[in-house]
Structure 1
Amino acid sequence: MRWEKEKNWRGVLQRNVSLYVYNAFLKEVLARFKFRGDYILAKAFSPAIQKVLHRTPYDLLVPIPLSSERIAERGFNQAKALADEASLQTTEVLTRIHTEKQSKKKRFERIHDVQIFHVSEQAKVDGKVILLIDDIYTTGATLHQAAKALKDAGAKTVTSFTLARG
């Protein structure tokens, strides 16, 4: 609701669907997955992800990318891992510039940050229904920035799916 009140963000991201509430238990599980490299945890979420995404219409499933620095640090992209382990085909059309971790920023900083995403293949997104996938929706800044880049590149609509919402 807050995003829709901001003129620059109105209509950018149609909606987000999350499987779980980002509670203390899930926070620990996702920390193990993302920050301690426990990649196999992505498999545990596969049946639930498949169930939701197989009944969700989209042309392209786009994982939220990490910067090359963050990939080197973690060894994998958690959004892509969730899709891969659920046997879902992704299309990587976004690139990301390296910035301070979103979790280290305050809400105001996240919302008013400079655009951190770039569409690398505009022809692939033009006129398409895009579904973004990521692990956590907190303030929504990451997903809204990605959606804005895709909409500006000609995407018809952009929605998102996250494992958790906090």
Structure 2
Amino acid sequence: MAEIKKDYLTVSTYNAILHRQLQRDMNQLLIKDKLPVNITEMYLMVLILESQPISQRRASTTLAVDEGLMTRMVKHLAALGLIHKEAAATDKRVKELTLTEDGEKLLDYGLSKVNEWWESIEPDLKDIDINNLGRELFDISKVVLSDRHQTALGTDRTDSELEK
């Protein structure tokens, strides 16, 4: 029996489309509701909630955002009183992030909007087990985030090497 070819491109493409559509719609809802955060900051707040405390560097790596953007998001969320940033007890160079009570309240409201978005398309997802899909994507994410699969960003490559 011939082996079935795995269609990684389709998984990657449609995962990206789903993510971008959700991101666009959620940013519009957050603006409409006059919330002071965007969806990427909401993702950061979810990550903090699930990992409290989490180092700023780990959050940057996990969300795949550069450290400059992470610094701007942390400053913004801290200025709004939604997160705390403080030096770790074991290493003062490590900055740990936690949610404030106001951050948890805003996150609860924002996540209710995410649920409403999903519930609006749910009737058209007849044969899809969303919980199983979520578990499978979580398992894939764990593998991708493991040190063994982190892609080193070599900055020592020349432009001619990048063009190949």
Please give the TM-score of this superposition, normalised by the length of structure 2. Answer: 0.28
Structure in which a larger fraction of residues adopt helix: 2
Structure in which a larger fraction of residues adopt strand: 1
Asked which structure has the greater RCO (Cα within 8 Å, sep 6+), the reply is 1
Structure possessing the higher radius of gyration over alpha carbons: 2
Please give the TM-score of this superposition, normalised by the length of structure 1. Answer: 0.27
